Amino acid sequence: MDLVNALFSGLIQVFNWSTFSLMIVGIAVGFVVGILPGLGGPTAMALMLPFVFKMNAVEAFAFLLGMTAVTATTGDITSVLFGVPGEPTTASTIVDGHAMARNGEAGRALGAVLMSSLVGAVFAGVALGAAIPIIRPLVLSFGSPEFFMLAILGISFVAALSGEDPLKGIIAGGIGLMLATIGLDPISGIQRFTFGQLFLWDGIGLVPITIGFYAIPETIELAVLGSSIAKKEVGELGGVMEGVKDTFRHFWLVIRCSALGTAIAIIPGMGAATTQWLAYAHAVQSSPNKERFGKGDVRGVLGPGAANNSTLGGSLITTIAFGVPASVVMAILLGAFIIQGIVPGPDMLLPPPKGKLDLTFSFVWVIIISNMITVAVCFLFLKPLAKVTQVRGAIIIPIILISCSFSAPSVGSWRNSTGRGHRCC
């Protein structure tokens, strides 16, 4: 009964006027970020993180998750039309999606990828909600030794996923631990590595770190292009409804790839950039006529489209239940938890007033509702949305840099006005 009450409480909170309005704003930001190559989900999350300081918890996560949930969906548009991934997580869509566009089936490819993305997002939301009763007893049985083990596991994944040179991953994890020690010791109040500077007493700020690592490099890369992102004109987009029908013709493939994306994303470090290719490989291996893939097979669009959007649900399971971010986006989202004074873990799985289960279920509704809105808008405005990719980089770059320049000072003013602070790691 507590689960049902929390589920409906989360839905009511999402449809609160202020929360719903902020979710729409987040969706609008996600639209632009997803369509424009050179920007990405982590970049947008880093830029938008300062804006959640004065929001309540439901508003903050509706804004951030609404933005994150749609970037993969809109990123598929440029992957299909121009062969340029709007997001790194939509690269696999190019293989067959862009081939279909060259074959005159751009509308069918877009219809298929948008509808499969919606199915994947709904699956992710349902999976997140269904996982709560299962993982709650597991999380509640965890103590300090178990959480320490998970922390070490997360750092070890950094090394394991560093490719052929795990030493670089180990060094990166060590640097992260070193940065986390800067500031005042939370127990004794002793200064650690502050070098006599007052601004280091609160440690290294989360927002400047995320902006420096993600927003600035992506902006530089966008500046190197020196012109509009897409060099080709958008042709006619016929056959969209045929792509929608393809989703239901191959419905079990879409469901399998959605399940694959959710399950793999639970593992820390295995984000949508990995699951998209696993889903594409599964679509190829499960097909009796593999020779059609790479030449414009709609199944090569359906699999990655579903897996990309279902990944968010799996990543949130690990992040919410154990406080271990499963991807880069989740690591930045963990900063929003810190800003809001919320500790991921058992409290997120307990009903009110002891816990914040209603907030967790609001995540489920935000994922589902934001993707429904996004897909509906994409179907209505496919042609104008595609033309956004022809906006010159010279127009976009100043907007990003201005946002970056305002973000760091806003952290200082927020600390001074509230007396609260936050640190990375």
**Both tokens of residue 1?**
């009964």
How many domains are there within the chain? 1
Tell me if 137 sits within 8 A of 321, measured CB to CB. no
Highest mean pLDDT among 180-184, 263-267, 388-392, 398-402: 180-184
Question: For residues 116 and 155, which has the higher predicted lDDT (pLDDT)?
Answer: 116
Nearest one of 80, 89, 76, 72 to 296, comparing CA atoms? 80
Question: Would 296 be classed as within a structural domain?
Answer: yes
319 has pLDDT over 70: yes
**Both tokens of residue 105?**
């089936």
User: What is the rounded distance in angstroms from the CA atom of residue 306 to the CA atom of residue 300?
Assistant: 11
Q: Angle at CA 77, nearest 5°, toward 42 and 276?
A: 60
Q: What is the pLDDT of residues 38-73, one digit of tens each?
A: 566 777 777 788 788 888 888 888 888 888 877 777
The parent domain of residue 34 ranges over 2-418
Residue 294: phi, psi to the nearest 5?
90, -10
Question: Would 294 be classed as within a structural domain?
Answer: yes
Element containing residue 191 per DSSP (H, E): strand 191-192
Share of residues in the chain with pLDDT > 90 (%): 0
Is the link from the previous residue into 353 a cis peptide, with omega within 30 of 0?
Answer: yes
Q: What is the pLDDT of residues 201-260, one digit of tens each?
A: 777 765 566 556 655 665 676 677 665 444 455 555 566 788 888 888 888 988 988 888
Entry pTM: 0.69
282 has pLDDT over 60: yes
The residue-averaged pLDDT of 326-347 equals 79
**pLDDT for position 163:** 55
Q: How many other CB atoms sit within 10 Å of the CB of residue 195?
A: 7
